[in-house]
């Protein structure tokens, strides 16, 4: 899949590298289709069903645009690679101006695409990810392993900004979007860590359907504390920080889904702490576009004591945010995994996530 602004050379890149070996799916070939995304999906399905490799050459600026193609690829067991053309609006407009006839795109179209553009990541489900600059593709991580190493380097840089050493991080081994499949082992592992470290306070994610791993963290933290207390050991105070979730049709960050009786505490950061937080966010270069919605609310941080929740029930009515992104996980499957994990831990689904 080629992703990027109009005018940056995607079609030339495609012709040179893929046209001889791949079925080409490009909106340029069905400009008059009344429902172009459905037409694109149908053509991808048709090619994969025939056993052909496919190259999708469109702007695909939003996660949802790419999710439909990734879903088809997963269904056919096809491996996926994304070539992300590094956004440069000025260069796109200048190159577009040299085009003629129907190939020239209205400038407003380029600007509209730039506004919607979200940088793709391996977390969306791509097997490989490349960044293409004017000089050609660069090794923006080619595999899940390389991506994990990149993200760890970014984490270490953020920790350095916070004055924390790398050794303060303990990884429990779950990979992106896979934590829900390991809820019981993760809960046991976290229980052991809590028993050894004896912290007075644990801060975790709320159960809100923003990301399946965030919901897994909410489950694991609560379950580990419940296991500690069942063993007769003191458990830490469990506090939630804000994350993100669906609010109607939009993404909401920096706020909690309302819970009756839950008291929120706001912490306003000093200018020095705000600057430090900005530098920590800057450390996650690969997530720059993803983190942009969070950068509008760096002055105030909200916390609350973790309320009791029932992970056998959805966190809110309607589609969860991660379901809208085309992740492999669904809310129904996540809740079934949580029910199974609770049974394995000897807790009921509500008890595993009850406020300690």
Tokens 């790419």 sit at which residue?
Answer: 66
Q: Do 101 and 188 belong to one domain?
A: no
Residue 251: beta bridge partners? 246
What's the domain range around 134? 2-142
Let me know whether 244 and 308 are in one domain: yes
Q: What is the number of domains present in the chain?
A: 2
Q: Are residues 76 and 182 in the same domain?
A: no
Q: Write out pLDDT tens, residues 227-253.
A: 999 999 988 999 999 999 998 888 899
The whole-angstrom separation of Cα 95 and Cα 99 is 7
pLDDT tens digits for range 1-45: 999 998 888 888 888 888 888 899 987 776 666 677 788 889 999
β partners of residue 109:
none
- Please, are residues 111 and 6 in contact by the beta-carbon 8 Å criterion? no
Q: Are residues 232 and 131 in the same domain?
A: no
Pair 240, 121 in one domain:
no
**pLDDT band at 344; cut points 50, 70, 90:** very high
Alpha-carbon distance 319 to 239, whole Å? 26
- Do 204 and 339 sit in the same domain of this protein? yes
3-state secondary structure 18-75: CCCCCEEEEHHHHCCCCCHHHHHHHHHHHHHHCCCCEEEECCCCCHHHHHHHHHHHHH
Tens-digit pLDDT profile for residues 184-220:
999 999 999 999 999 999 999 999 999 999 999 999 9
CATH code (residue 190): 3.40.50
For residues 117 and 180, state if they share a domain.
no
Cα–Cα distance for residue pair 121/3, rounded to 1 Å: 11
């Amino acid at each position: 899949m080629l992703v990027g602004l109009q005018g940056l050379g995607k079609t030339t890149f495609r012709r040179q590298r893929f046209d001889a070996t791949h079925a080409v799916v490009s909106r340029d070939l069905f400009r008059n289709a009344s429902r172009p995304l459905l037409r694109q999906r149908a053509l991808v399905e048709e090619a994969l069903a025939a056993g052909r490799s496919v190259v999708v050459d469109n702007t695909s600026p939003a996660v949802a645009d790419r999710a439909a193609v990734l879903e088809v690829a997963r269904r056919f067991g096809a491996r996926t690679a994304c070539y992300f053309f590094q956004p440069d609006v000025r260069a796109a407009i200048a190159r577009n101006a040299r085009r003629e006839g129907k190939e020239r795109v209205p400038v407003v179209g380029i600007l509209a695409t730039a506004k919607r553009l979200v940088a793709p990541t391996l977390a969306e489900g791509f097997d490989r990810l490349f960044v293409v600059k004017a000089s050609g593709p660069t090794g923006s991580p080619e595999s899940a392993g390389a991506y994990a190493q990149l993200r760890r380097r970014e984490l270490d840089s953020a920790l350095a900004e916070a004055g924390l050493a790398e050794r303060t991080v303990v990884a429990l081994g779950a990979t992106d979007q896979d934590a829900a499949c390991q809820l019981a082992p993760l809960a046991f592992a976290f229980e052991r860590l809590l028993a050894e470290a004896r912290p007075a306070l644990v801060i975790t994610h709320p159960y809100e359907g923003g990301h399946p791993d965030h919901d897994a963290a909410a489950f694991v933290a609560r379950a580990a504390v419940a296991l500690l207390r069942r063993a007769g050991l003191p458990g830490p105070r469990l506090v939630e920080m804000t994350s993100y979730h669906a609010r109607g049709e939009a993404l909401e960050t920096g706020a909690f889904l309302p819970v009756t009786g839950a008291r929120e505490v706001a912490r306003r950061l000093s200018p020095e702490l705000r600057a430090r937080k900005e530098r920590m966010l800057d450390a996650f270069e690969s997530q720059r576009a993803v983190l942009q919605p969070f950068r509008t609310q760096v002055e105030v941080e909200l916390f609350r004591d973790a309320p009791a929740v029932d992970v056998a029930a959805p966190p809110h009515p309607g589609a969860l945010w991660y379901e809208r992104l085309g992740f492999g996980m669904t809310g129904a499957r996540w809740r079934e995994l949580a029910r199974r994990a609770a049974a394995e831990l000897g807790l009921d689904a509500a008890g595993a996530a009850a406020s300690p």
